[in-house]
Amino acid sequence: MAPATTVAAAAAARGLVGSRRRTEAPPRRPSPSPPPRKLRLVTEIMARARYAVVERGDYSDVGCEQCGSGERPDELLLCDKCDKGFHMKCLRPIVARVPIGSWLCPKCSGHRRVRSFSQKKIIDFFRIQKSCDGKKKFTSNQDMRKRRRRSRSLVLLKKRRRLLPFIPSEDPNQRLNQMGTLASALTALQMEFSDDLTYSPGMAPRSANQAKFENGGMQVLSKEDMETLELCREMSRSGECPPLIVVFDSCEGYLHFEIICTVVDILCNCIFSVFILIMSCSYTVEADGQIKDMTFIAEYTGDVDYIKNRENDDCDSLMTLLLATDSSKSLVICPDKRGNIARFINGINNHTLEGKKKQNCKCVRYSVNGECRVLLVATRDIAKGERLYYDYNGYEHEYPTHHFV
């Protein structure tokens, strides 16, 4: 009977509870008042926000944060976070084309900016040999002979035109800036600096580079010009470079836009190669000082290889080194892995009068101690700020230039 009583008691208890819930309201407890809402400052919100774009009514006063110029607005990129402007060629690494979608400057994106080459890095990059005597001045034997020939006829001197050594900039900081632009361009193309011809395994050996193989013979560099060449090489090794700078120009280069599109179509599965090709077509060389007529500018350097091995090569700057009677022994210079500033000097369109007027230097092949060498020489006085151009074709006229810009 105990369990039944217990069940009835439980039922009665449930009834009491149920009736209470239906007839009586539960005691109301006072609810605590919510704390007053604290409004955050706009600066705090902006600091935690990812980024916000505030459009301005007028962008005519925007200039590049690197060079300070507001020119070339079509090349001026605006950061979607800080709204500051940057020229595509002033950024490091250089932006080759306008980005698709939003774009953030290096500071806002958090990416480390490519540091400019310091003085020590430039010295290491070009393997400059420090001289213990900082006041050493290089003088050529030609200068000594000129003093003795002052009484000779000017007409006679004009007939015997000799190479002149380049005159480096007097300001050391200006020379460092010149070498820095070349180092940046070579690094962008993943190239090494080399002021000499290179004979790599698997390519043409040095024994193949003999001027006696040239079809029809090759002009021999005179003794005086060889002294000038050695003088310029000695100055370069000591950090006294020609007064030249490498600049980036998206509109410059030897490829016409239609050709670039064709290359892109062919190499659509190799985006990196296309990028390197377009970048190499966008560099050019400017004079950073006055350059006199017949001044030695640079020697064309790079890997030496047989022409037969490079028939399908996509390098845009192959240079003829040797045209042998036996075509299988003909050689070219390939500046795709190693080279110097000659790699970035552009060619002219020799099919137009305007293109021919731009030429201010020439490329000449010489026999130097029995070996073929290619030298770039000024053909007229070149003013500061003027860009350097030469004709890619020699007497063979086999290189197509009708698409050159």
For the chain, give the secondary structure using H, E and C: CHHHHHHHHHHHHHHHHHHHHHHCCCCCCCCCCCCCCCCCCHHHHHHHCCCCCCCCCCCCCCCECCCCCCCCHHHEEECCCCCCEEECCCCCCCCCCCCCCCCCCHHHHCCCCCCCCCHHHHHHHCCCCCCCCCCCCCCCHHHHHHHHCCCCCHHHHHHCCCCECCCCCCCHHHHHHHHHHHHHHHHHCCCEECCCCECCCCCCCHHHCCHHHECCCCCECCHHHHHHHHHHHHHHHCCCCCCEEEEECCCCCCCCHHHHHHHHHHCCCCHHHHHHHHHHCCEEEEECCCECCCEEEEECCCEEEEHHHHCCCCCCCCEEEECECCHHHCEEEECCCEECHHHHCEECCCCCHHHHHHCCEEEEEEEECCEEEEEEEECCCECCCCECEECCCCCCCCCCCCCCC
Between 1 and 214, residue with greater pLDDT:
214
Measured over the CA atoms of residue 173, residue 177, residue 183 and residue 187, the dihedral's sign is positive
**Which residues form the domain of 312?**
119-126+162-390
Is the same domain home to 107 and 169? no
Query: Are 212 and 341 within one domain?
Result: yes
Whether 274 and 365 share a structural domain: yes
Question: How confident is the model over 178-195, as pLDDT tens digits?
Answer: 999 999 989 988 899 999
Name the band, by pLDDT with cuts 50, 70 and 90, for residue 144. Answer: low
Give me 335's structure tokens.
């500046």
Judge contact between 381 and 290, C-beta under 8 A: yes
Query: Does the structure show a pLDDT above 50 at 65?
Result: yes
- At residue 231, the pLDDT reads 94
Instruction: Give the pTM.
Output: 0.60
CATH code for the domain of 96: 3.30.40.10
Is 280 within 8 Å of 316 (Cβ atoms)?
yes
**182 domain-assigned:** yes
Boundary-marking domain end, from 76, 111, 146: 111
Query: 260 and 385: one domain?
Result: yes
Same domain, 374 and 241: yes
Residues 242 and 383 in one domain: yes
Query: Does 56 reside within a domain?
Result: no
101 and 167 co-located in one domain: no
- The CATH number that applies at residue 232 is 2.170.270.10
Question: For position 228, what pLDDT does the model report?
Answer: 94
Q: Are residues 102 and 236 in the same domain?
A: no
Position 248 scores a pLDDT of 80
Do 233 and 380 share a domain, yes or no? yes
100 part of a folded domain: yes
Q: Is residue 20 part of a domain?
A: no
Does the residue 315 lie in any domain?
Answer: yes
State pLDDT tens for residues 212-259: 999 988 999 999 999 999 999 999 999 999 999 998 875 554 443 333
Domains in the chain: how many in total? 2
Angle at 73 between CA 344 and CA 186, to 5 degrees: 20
Same domain, 73 and 200: no
Q: How confident is the model at residue 292 (pLDDT cuts 50, 70, 90)?
A: very high
361-368 and 371-378: which strand pairing?
antiparallel
Mean pLDDT value of segment 64-70:
87
For position 114, what pLDDT does the model report?
47
Same domain, residue pair 336 and 189:
yes
Q: Is residue 7 in a domain?
A: no
pLDDT top residue among 138 and 84 = 84
Q: Tell me if 9 is assigned to some domain.
A: no
345 and 210 within one domain:
yes
Token representation of residue 305: 């290889």
Would you state the pLDDT for residue 234?
A: 93
Q: Is residue 46 part of a domain?
A: no
